[in-house]
Amino acid sequence: MAPPLITLKDINLTFGGTPLLEGAELTVAPGDRICLVGRNGSGKSTLLKIAAGLVEPDGGERFAHPNSSVRYLPQEADFNGFSTVRDYVVAGLGPTDDPYQAEYLLAELGLSGDSEPQHLSGGESRRAALARVIAAKPDVLLLDEPTNHLDLTAIEWLESTLLGMRSALLLISHDRRFLENLSRATVWLDRGKTRRLEQGFAAFEDWRDKVLEEEDIERHKLDRKIVREDQWMHGGVTGRRKRNVRRVRELRAMRQEVREQRHVVGSVRLDAAEGSISGKLVAEATGISKSYEGVDIVKNLDLRIMRGDRLGIVGPNGAGKTTLIKLLTGQIAPDSGTIRHGANLEVVALDQRRDELNPNWTVADALTGGRGDQVVINGKARHVASYMKDFLFLPEQRLSPIRVLSGGERARLMLARALAKPSNVLVLDEPTNDLDLETLDLLQELLSDYGGTILLVSHDRDFLDRIVTSVLAPTGNGYWTEYAGGYSDMLAQRKGDALQKDQKPVAAGSAKSSEGNAASSAAAPARQKLSFKDKHALSTLPGEIDKLETEIKKLGTKLADAELFIRDRVAFDKASARLQEAQQQLEVAETLWLELEEKREAIENSG
């Protein structure tokens, strides 16, 4: 077995009298693909800097193999001292590295080596920083939020490039799909300590939930009544994830309705401020076009947005997503064509630049407007500390100035401000920036319960799949096409369209015809019928799932009795065992239902 490249042992670090890391450990061996996960503020970035040798811990040991090369990607690149992007990238090479790699990566990432770094956009800065660390082909790559500010094309390029490298990876990211595709092990940083799962991120959330449930049972067994805010947060995360599994079913039903006809969805839950009900029509674009300096941004677009629609807008940086949003919301006029807006629209936009946040405000001031300690949601007053808790803030942060908040905390504060305003149309431009995975769960829950219309611009593939009912994507030269479903559905439809186009001109008896027949054979399973067993399962599983959910709720209520363990140990153990069994059965049933529903949907679409 090869010796480890980096080892952290019993790492301790305290900031401002508060312990951040307490006995944290980490090992990176050749070939490892590790994702480092945990809440914002848990110390992930700090642990990564310790692994890179950039931060000295208060206690513990760091070992780095003397013959190994390590490259670290920070969240913000430092271009000081470099006159060109090429100089910055080349500076990351070692003495024996090939300078051609720097030029190759600059070209691959669409960057000019002669550009001045201070004039780069956020996305260009990120691509330059990636070129710098990848060009050296190091033994270990330490990546802190590598997908920040990247568009979908760049994210998919980065994913493919990292998969093809021999470097060991240790990465932090809020992009679920990115983590699932790259990781083979997961390190969870929780309450200052690390726990390692020898599986990728796809298995992490189930494992984490099981660990937390076992901890909760142990607390009952020891009859310790410990109330901690972080326990509330963990419990909320677990509950949100399980509720979101059921919301996937609801979203699939909504997407089917979009395919058949425009439909109105249900009412708003009280987590977001509800405005007056808009008209059935939100916006209708007829033949609209918009160009800048002779470049077509939008060309001859017809689009209808109805009340309750959840439209995702995707495309590379510079494709015109922001322009499209401004056209659809009436902020700018098209060069040609018409846009008709519905009645009673109350539009709230999430400003990801966060310019409206005064750094000297307190968190409470930002939510109440400096008027007392109450927030009014749907005409009902709530204490600001209670509302803050919905967005994972601790009560003691109420008087914290905004300038001391992390990027993730500012993002959550912006969400809280936006969702407190009455609205029936939400415009979200890259709302997932700087959010950790647990806050993404919270945002997904809020948006799933929102009864109005959502226009979502995002580069997060998983988030799009979880939220939207249709996707609008550029097809070149200013043209845009709407696809029913989420991002994955869009890819499948585009692939199907490409396959049909490839097959149309094929002549009988030619070599291409053989390829077309092979493709048809490969696609044949999608046109098969559901078996009787599958049909029966699809019809009976929802009932079984409802029964299990009811039983789990009753068992949870029973085990919540702190005296049960002392009063009737046998009943406590029996209920605990049955709860774990029922939760496993529910997970199996929900997974099977989703798989069969996807299979049924694929068969119907292929017809």
Give domain status of residue 220, yes or no.
no
Residues 113 and 35 in one domain: yes
Half-sphere exposure of 323 (CA within 13 A, CB side): 21
Q: Same structural domain for residues 417 and 429? A: no
CATH number at residue 545: 1.10.287.380
Q: Over 90: is that where the pLDDT of 377 sits?
A: no
Q: How far apart are CA 428 and CA 455, in angstroms?
A: 6
pLDDT tens digit string along 317-359?
888 898 999 999 999 999 999 999 988 888 888 765 655 778 8
Residue 17 CB neighbour total at 10 angstroms:
5
In a domain, 471, yes or no: yes
Domain co-membership, 119 together with 141: yes
- 267 lies in the same domain as 384: no
Q: What are phi and psi of 270, to 5 degrees?
A: -80, 20
Predicted local distance difference test score (pLDDT) of residue 235: 52
Final residue of a domain: which of 421, 444, 467? 421
Indicate yes or no: pTM above 0.85: no
Looking at the structure, do residues 319 and 367 belong to the same domain, yes or no? no
CATH number at residue 31: 3.40.50.300
Residue type at 472 in one-letter notation: L
Q: Which of 152, 487, 471, 158 is nearest to 315 (CA)?
A: 152
Within a domain: 190: yes
Residue of higher predicted confidence among 243 and 511 = 243
- Higher pLDDT: 481 or 527? It is 481
The count of structural domains within the chain is 4
Which of 451-466 are b and which e, b meaning 16 or more Cβ less than 10 Å from the residue's Cβ?
Answer: bbbbbbbbbbbbbbbb
Same domain, 109 and 199: yes
Higher pLDDT, 472 or 261: 472
pLDDT at 241: 55
Percent of the chain predicted with pLDDT > 70: 81
Instruction: Name the domain boundary from 371, 403, 421.
Output: 421
What own/partner pairs with CB < 8 Å and gap ≥ 24 does 268-271 have? 268/378, 268/449, 268/450, 268/451, 268/452, 269/449, 269/450, 269/451, 270/377, 270/378, 270/380, 271/390, 271/419, 271/445, 271/446, 271/449
Question: Looking at the domain assignment, is residue 352 inside a domain?
Answer: no
Closest CA to 78 of 133, 25, 33, 14: 133
Let me know if residue 412 belongs to a domain: yes
Taking the C-alpha atoms of residue 579 and residue 550, their distance in angstroms, rounded to an integer, is 11
Contact 71, 136 (CB under 8 A): yes
The residue among 202, 204, 187, 182 whose CA lies nearest residue 33 is: 182
Lowest mean pLDDT among 180-189, 382-391, 490-499, 517-526: 517-526
Q: Is the pLDDT of residue 227 over 60?
A: no
The mean-pLDDT minimum among 361-370, 453-462, 515-524 falls in: 515-524
Residues 271 and 299 in one domain: yes
Query: What mean pLDDT comes out for the span 385-403?
Result: 85
Q: Does residue 448 share a domain with residue 416?
A: no
Residue 329 located in a structural domain: yes
Which residues partner with 290 through β-bridges? 298
Q: Are residues 195 and 246 located together in one domain of the fold?
A: no
Please indicate, yes or no, whether residues 322 and 381 belong to a single structural domain of this protein.
no
Asked if residue 481 is part of any domain, the answer here is: yes
Tell me the pLDDT tens digit for each residue of 157-197: 999 999 999 999 999 999 999 999 999 999 999 989 999 99
Mean pLDDT of the chain: 81
The confidence score (pLDDT) of residue 32 equals 95
Q: Do residue 149 and residue 271 come from a single domain?
A: no
Residues 6 or more apart in contact with residue 3 via CB below 8 angstroms: 29, 65
Higher pLDDT among residues 356 and 3, named by residue: 3
pLDDT at residue 567 greater than cutoff 60: yes
Check pLDDT > 50 for residue 245: yes
Whether 472 maps to a domain, the answer reads: yes
What pLDDT score does 187 carry?
A: 97
Whose structure tokens read 């992930």?
44
Q: Are 78 and 125 in contact (CB under 8 A)?
A: no
Percent of the chain with pLDDT over 90: 39
Residues 453 and 544 in one domain: no
> What radius of gyration do the chain's Cα atoms show?
26
Owning domain of residue 389: 357-421
- Residue 508: pLDDT band (50, 70, 90) is very low
